[in-house]
Amino acid sequence: MFLVDIRELLLKDAMIMDLKASTKEEAINEMVHQYFVTGVINDEELYKKDIVAREKQSTTGIGDGIAMPHAKDKAVQRATVLFAKSEKGVDYDALDGNPVHLFFMIAAPEGANNTHLQALATLSGLLIDPALVAKLKKAKTPDEVHQLFADAQAQKEAKDKAEEKKEAQQTTTPASSDRPYIVAVTACPTGIAHTYMAEEALKKQAEAMGVDIKVETNGSEGVKHLLTADEIRRAAGVIIAADKKVAMARFNGKHLVNRPVVDGIKKSEELITKAVNADAPVYHADSAEEEEGDDAGGSIGSKIYKDLMNGISHMLPFVVGGGILMALSFVIEQFLGGPKSIGFIFLNNAGSLAFAFMIPVLAGYIAESIGDRPALMPGFVGGFMATVYSGSFGGAYTANVMTNAKSAAGFLGGIAAGFIAGYLTIFLRKLFSKLPKSLEGMKPMLLYPIFGLLLVALIMFFIVNPIFAIINTWVTAFLNHMGTGNAVLLGIVLGGMMSIDMGGPFNKAAYVFAVAAFTSTNNGNLMAAVMAGGMVPPFATAIATAFWPKKFTDDERKAGITNWVLGFSFITEGAIPFATADPLRVLSSCIVGSAIAGGLTQFWKVSVPAPHGGFWVTPLATNAFGYIFAVVIGAIISGVIMGMWKQTKETAK
């Protein structure tokens, strides 16, 4: 028996039986506001932000006229499901492209207990039943909705009891010889709705096809129906319907279908057919992630970008933390204690040590993204070889990692090391794939580490380091001898790129280029350009919302206030909500101001010897006033353009 009646979650007062919205944004606003009015949430902006963030991962419009937007955060006061019905339908970017008529907005508090989470999971599973959905579309009152779910829950309880008895029998006796047996795992990022809808869809379809199935769920309440080693062994195939990582090593040697969780809901018959017929690749625990799925795809460019971003995302904490501590040490050196003060020595050493890991971490996680765990070690070592000329370790051993090279390969060499290590690991995996099964355990523990390291070290020592040392020398000479006109032009380009996609590929490309130049030359000119360009968007939105408030919604005006702080700290992403709502006006305005700011830093010969920090590292700038004025001028220009160009919001309050 379930400990919570689903009707306790479906508050009558929160139901909207005639949703007025005609767009996705309006529907979310209307439902979130209803939650706020009924006291389910105490922070409308926070809850809406998390709802929108979940929609960006993938639409919760699952098709068949149903959407299940959901969020779990501290704004929620009690676990609740808001039922809303739209007669005319809402274009909600549903997976099947059809309008949505039934909405179930799920609100779960951060500390939601397992009882409520189980009830939410049960409700999600019930919505797979087309008969219930059809009746809900005809319901006119909250009382009718309550009764429909009460009847459906009673049927679900009876069915689950029968399934539990059946599963208990399967664990003690072999699967029926005349019925195929498969196992599955479902999981989604929040673990509230899609996880359990996929579970229910797979179970219903398996029953209709005469297939025995056990489904493990990785949801908010933890792992349920955990698959045992014996169940996995007996299964003809495995289905993974998940949008987050699940424990995979246990499926080594099984035919495995790996798809997004929504395919578990919408394409359950196809997945079960593949699993039953062993029409899927055999999964190997040491295989790369991109080979796990049977439908791996995407362009070469997108794959390279994903691998590079995996390295950069792991590298950034080292850049930010190490860079800021180094910057603070220089402030102490210049203004407080000098180069021999304990404050300078401590902070500079701590920052330098973190900064020293930057390129090895970048290379290691690029390699890991390509070749999975066996590529991590050779990637790290290759990245380290790109950063040092010689180093004494413990006083007994000296590592001289270059030949015919007068400088380190640097940032670009580290990127090359990561890709080389990753693809070499894939090559080694294919090379050793024909070894006898008795030697299978030797591959990850002996063969991959030895041959991976040997090959990467040879390539870095004799090829990459000499070549990239020459390239870095050329880049250094070019930057040092670049005239003012060329410097301004480069500053304009880099500054503008920071606003093109605000954290996306263009933004990251400009930032990576500036960091590469900084690590190669110790010259912070281009860092000043990208930081100034990156600070303009949040400042511009703050200015526009302050001086043209009627042209922005109440939520946007609140975000504008926050963006004063984000801009000061070089957090460009604060402008993303504005760009999402009105990309043409916001992005165009910001690109103009960012380009001007980037160009001015070069015209005034501003240099900032820190890879992050915004205005917090102003004391380090060679021309502090030029740095400040460049950002202020760019932000004002962008803010004025944006404010004058924006249209007045009718709903603004």
Check which CATH number belongs to the domain holding 235 and give it: 3.40.50.2300
* Mean pLDDT score across all residues of the chain: 81
- Identify the domain boundary among 480, 507, 535: 480
17/97: higher pLDDT: 17
- Shared-domain flag, residues 280 and 339: no
For residue 638, pLDDT over 90 is answered with: yes
Residue 259: both structure tokens together: 């798809």
For residue 301, pLDDT over 70 is answered with: no
8 Å CB contact between 264 and 201: yes
189/484: higher pLDDT: 484
| Radius of gyration, CA atoms only, the chain | 29
CA distance 184 to 509: 40
Name the one residue in this structure whose structure tokens are 């930081």.
531
Which pLDDT score is estimated for 221?
A: 58
- Shared-domain flag, residues 515 and 450: no
Catalytic sites, residue numbers:
70, 188
- Residue 560 covered by a domain: yes
- Identify the domain boundary among 480, 511, 538: 480
CA distance 105 to 81: 6
Residues 358-417: pLDDT tens digits?
A: 889 999 999 988 888 889 999 999 998 888 644 433 333 344 544 444 456 777 888 899
CA distance 312 to 315: 5
Among 61-75, 285-299, 615-629, name the most confident range: 615-629
Which pLDDT score is estimated for 606?
A: 92
What pTM was estimated for this model as a whole?
A: 0.51
For residue 199, pLDDT over 60 is answered with: yes
Q: Give residue 612's pLDDT band: very low, low, confident or very high (50, 70, 90).
A: confident
Which pLDDT score is estimated for 403?
A: 45
Q: Please report which residue ranges of 481-619 form alpha helices under DSSP H.
A: 484-500, 505-521, 525-547, 554-568, 576-581, 583-603
Average pLDDT of span 577-588? 84
453/433: higher pLDDT: 453
Which pLDDT score is estimated for 222?
A: 65
- Residue 652 covered by a domain: no
- Residue 520 covered by a domain: yes
- Shared-domain flag, residues 558 and 536: yes
Which pLDDT score is estimated for 652?
A: 39
- Residue 160 covered by a domain: no
Residues 241-258: pLDDT tens digits?
A: 887 767 788 898 899 998
Among 61-75, 120-134, 427-441, name the most confident range: 61-75
For residue 185, pLDDT over 50 is answered with: yes
5/14: higher pLDDT: 14
Q: Which residues touch 444 (CB under 8 Å, ≥6 apart)?
A: 286, 373, 374
* CA-CA-CA-CA torsion sign (568, 570, 571, 573): positive
423/133: higher pLDDT: 423
CA distance 43 to 74: 9
CA distance 135 to 129: 10
3-state class (DSSP) for residue 205: helix
Average pLDDT of span 579-602? 90
Using a 10 angstrom Cβ sphere, with 0-12 exposed, 13-18 middle and 19 or more buried, the burial of residue 98 is middle
- Shared-domain flag, residues 401 and 432: yes
Instruction: Determine the structural domain holding residue 582 and report its residue range.
Output: 484-645
649/279: higher pLDDT: 279
- Shared-domain flag, residues 271 and 384: no
**Of the ranges 110-124, 337-351, 477-491, 638-652, which one carries the lowest mean pLDDT score?**
110-124
Strands 66-67 and 61-63: antiparallel
For residue 120, pLDDT over 70 is answered with: no
Cβ neighbours of 433 (radius 10 Å):
10
Which pLDDT score is estimated for 388?
A: 65
**Of the ranges 373-377, 453-457, 482-486, which one carries the lowest mean pLDDT score?**
482-486
Which pLDDT score is estimated for 287?
A: 44
Cross-strand pairs, 23: 91
Which pLDDT score is estimated for 369?
A: 82
Angular region, 527: left φ>0, alpha ψ -120 to 50, beta rest? alpha
- Shared-domain flag, residues 494 and 431: no
Which pLDDT score is estimated for 47?
A: 92
Among 171-175, 306-310, 478-482, name the most confident range: 306-310
- Shared-domain flag, residues 233 and 342: no
- Residue 332 covered by a domain: yes
For residue 566, pLDDT over 80 is answered with: yes
Name the one residue in this structure whose structure tokens are 């049927």.
155
- Shared-domain flag, residues 442 and 533: no
Using a 10 angstrom Cβ sphere, with 0-12 exposed, 13-18 middle and 19 or more buried, the burial of residue 397 is exposed
- Shared-domain flag, residues 638 and 497: yes
Q: Determine which helix (DSSP H) or strand (DSSP E) holds 430, and give its type and residue range.
A: helix 410-431
Could you tell me the strand order of the sheet in which 212-219 lies? 222-224, 212-219, 181-187, 238-242, 256-259
- Residue 114 covered by a domain: yes
8 Å CB contact between 426 and 371: yes
Which pLDDT score is estimated for 198?
A: 84
Which pLDDT score is estimated for 522?
A: 72
* CA-CA-CA-CA torsion sign (160, 252, 426, 472): positive
- Shared-domain flag, residues 285 and 304: no
**For residue 52, what is the domain's CATH number?**
3.40.930.10
Which pLDDT score is estimated for 296?
A: 39
177/151: higher pLDDT: 151
Residues 512-554: pLDDT tens digits?
A: 788 777 776 777 888 999 999 999 999 999 999 999 998 888 8
496/158: higher pLDDT: 496
**175: DSSP letter:** P
Average pLDDT of span 615-630? 88
Residue 473: both structure tokens together: 């020398």
Which pLDDT score is estimated for 517?
A: 77
- Identify the domain boundary among 292, 312, 336: 292
**Of the ranges 217-221, 297-301, 317-321, 355-359, which one carries the lowest mean pLDDT score?**
297-301
For residue 653, pLDDT over 60 is answered with: no
- Shared-domain flag, residues 45 and 64: yes
- Shared-domain flag, residues 321 and 287: no
For residue 86, pLDDT over 50 is answered with: yes
- Residue 539 covered by a domain: yes
- Give percent helix, percent strand, percent coil of the chain, each to the nearest 5: 60, 10, 25
Amino acid at residue number 634: G
For residue 309, pLDDT over 60 is answered with: yes
For residue 457, pLDDT over 70 is answered with: yes
- Residue 521 covered by a domain: yes
Number of domains in the chain: 4
